[in-house]
Each structure stands twice: as C-alpha cells, then as structure tokens.
Structure 1
Amino acid sequence: MTRRPALIAVLALAAALLIAAALALAPRLGTPGAQSVEVRFVREMIQHHAQAVDMATRIRDRSEERTLRSVALDIQLSQQEQIGQMRGWLTLWNLPWGGPGMTAEHARMMGMATPAELSRLDTLPPADAERLFLQLMIRHHQGALAMVKPALAPGVRPEVRTLARQIDAAQGGEIRLMTAMLAARGAGPLPAPAAVTGDLDHAGMEGEHAH
C-alpha cells in the first residue's frame, strides 16, 4: 500500500494543471445553471470517476499481472485527467466542486460498488481480487455508458458533449477488453446495473431528490 499516497499526489498535481488549462481554453458560452444537464452530468461523473480511480489504485497495489495492471493504470490516469477537466469547468462556471451528489441507491443503479465490495478488493487473495475488480469495473463502466446519454443530446454545451463521446468510446472498448480478460480467468460479468437493464425509473427519482 505504500505506493498509493505518492500516486495520488501525482494525480492531484496533474488534475490541478488540467484545471488551469480548462480555465484558459474553455469556450466563452453562457454559464449553465446548477440544475442543468451539464452540471448534473459533471458532478455525478466526477463522483463516478473517483470510485473508478480508487478501484484501479487498489488492484494495482496488489496485482502482479502485467495486462491487468496496465488496464488499471489507464483507468487511473484517464479518469483522473477527466476529473480535473470537469472540476475546471465547475470553477469556470462559478460553481463549487462539491454539491449534491448521487444517493447511495442512485449510485448503485449506475453500477458503482458498495463499500463492502471495495473492501473485498483489499482482503481477497490476489487472484480472486483480480476477478472481482474486472467484474466491478465492467459493471461500473456499464453505468457510465448510461450516464453519458443525456450529455449527448442536442443543445448540450459542445465541450461537455465531446467529453461524453470520449467516455462512451473509451469505456465501451474497455468493457470488451475486460470481459475477455474475465473469461480467460473462467468467470463472467456481474448482472448489469439498472441503468442498463432499464429499471431506472426509481433511480432517476432518487437522483432528482438528491439534487
């Protein structure tokens, strides 16, 4: 576990630099409101990404398998970079980084792991933890693909739509790769989250209450 604080410090510095870049380069458009599609997408995706970075960091601390460590590092770096970009937008829009996030129920329906599942990544034998990581991250990515859909709609700010397209393409490819890696370990994915199966009405109501 000794490598985790140093890695987090490096990622935090990179995020700070990205925020500065976002402030300098973001388009000069009208500021979106706190309840806009853009702000809700950004705030919820920051929370979602933060857990993916956490899971990837946990498994890289334990796994010795090169391909899995490479996938985890890609997730760490790409999603931390996107967190910095989204925080930069919030700063530009004169909105706090925090604010209402997803309720526990809404997060679960968007594929996020529970505290107990996260703890198992640290306590299971390494080979079992690797399988669980792949299962949890596939489900997590499936939730992210559902989360990007509102941000792809016409009328959404172009920089937000561009990020949503990037997330859609990158995480779709990672799902395919991780599914193959899981099959090679003799295991299959977890059931897809409600955001994918369509049982999302309740989750959407919970999200509304959270905002």
Structure 2
Amino acid sequence: MSPEHNQADVQFVKMMVPHHQQALRMAEIVLAKPDLNPQVRQMTEKIQREQGPEIEKMQSWLAAWNAGPAMSLEQAQGMQGLLSPDDLAQLERADGATASTLLLQQMIVHHQGAVSMAQPEIQNGTNPQATELAQSIVQSQQQQIQQMQTMLDRL
C-alpha cells in the first residue's frame, strides 16, 4: 500500500465504503428471499463477493492514512445512487419476483452513482491503489449495469 494520498483519495474512500455497505445490505435483503430469480441471485452474489473485500481494503487505507473512519450510511444519505430508507423498506417487503425486478432497478441506479463517484478519483487521486480501485469499479459496475438492464428487459 502506497502511503501517498491526497484529499481526492480520502474523499473517494470515505464515500465509497458506505456506498458499498448499502449494496451489501441490498444483497442481504434479496438473498433471503426464497423465490428470487436465479439470474438475479447469481448477480447479487457476485456483487457481494466483489464489494465485501473492497470495503475491507478501503477501511485499511483510511487507517494507514490516519484519515479517520468512513462516512456512516446516515451521513451518506443523499449521496449519488444511495437508496433512501423507504426504498430499502420497499425491497424488504417485496416478494421474490417483485424483489428481483426492484433490485435490478435499484442496483442500476446505485451502480451509476458509484461510477460517477469514481470519476473524480480517477482524475484527481494520487494514490495508485485507490485510483486503480476506482478504475476497476467503473469497469465492473458499467458491465454489471448492462447485464442488469438485459435481465430487467427479460423479466
């Protein structure tokens, strides 16, 4: 881990941690539903596998940089792509078929927010690992947006 960092790196990481945490919460909600669409289940499990380790990595960077903790989900409310508490409650109440559609719709918006949040890091960050993660987020989440849009069109 390179100790070199600037304010863009810190801001990106402090905002992306709660953003990822909410994606994991969304995944947890839908994966508990027995009648979830199998393709949606597979995509959701992939998101979990990717974003859980990224959260741990980003939190370790904040510690190494003595930058303080990431934002909480409450502090992050209103951030690009974050769901409101009402949106999450709607996802919790939905049955599997409805939750499949709802998750895809919500996760597309969520991913679009993450892609937008990663752009300033790519342009202004100085930490090589953080800018590499931002580039990876843009690439993987744009690909997942396309896959989710295709799934949504077929549901």
Query: Gapped runs of 5+ residues in structure 1?
Result: 1-25, 186-211
What is the alpha-carbon distance in structure 2 between the residues aligned to residue 37 and residue 133 of structure 1?
A: 30
What is the alpha-carbon distance in structure 2 between the residues aligned to residue 124 and residue 103 of structure 1?
A: 25
- Higher RCO, 1 or 2 (CA under 8 Å, sep at least 6)? 2
Are 1:177 and 2:150 an aligned pair?
no
Are 1:74 and 2:24 an aligned pair?
no
Query: Gapped runs of 5+ residues in structure 2?
Result: none
Q: Secondary structure at the match of 2:32?
A: helix
The aligned amino acid for 2:77 is A
**Aligned ranges 1:44-193 → 2 under 5 Å:** 44-62=15-33, 63-98=35-70, 102-105=75-78, 107=79, 110-154=80-124, 156-185=126-155
Q: Using the aligned pairs only, state the percent identity.
A: 31
CA contact (8 A) 2:12 2:121 kept: yes
1:40 to 2, 11, 16: 11
- More deviation, 175-184/118-127: 118-127
Q: Secondary structure at the match of 1:148?
A: helix
What is the alpha-carbon distance in structure 2 between the residues aligned to residue 142 and residue 69 of structure 1?
A: 20
TM-score for both structures, normalised by structure 1: 0.68
**Which entry has the higher C-alpha Rg, 1 or 2?**
1
The aligned amino acid for 2:24 is V
Cα 1:151/1:54, change in 2 over 3 Å: same
TM-score for both structures, normalised by structure 2: 0.91
The aligned amino acid for 1:92 is A
- More deviation, 92-101/135-144: 92-101
The aligned amino acid for 1:177 is Q
Q: How many residues align?
A: 153
Deviations, residues 24-56 of structure 1 (Å, cap 9, x unaligned): xx12x3454xxx111110010001110001101
What is the alpha-carbon distance in structure 1 between the residues aligned to residue 71 and residue 109 of structure 2?
A: 25
What is the alpha-carbon distance in structure 2 between the residues aligned to residue 49 and residue 100 of structure 1?
A: 11
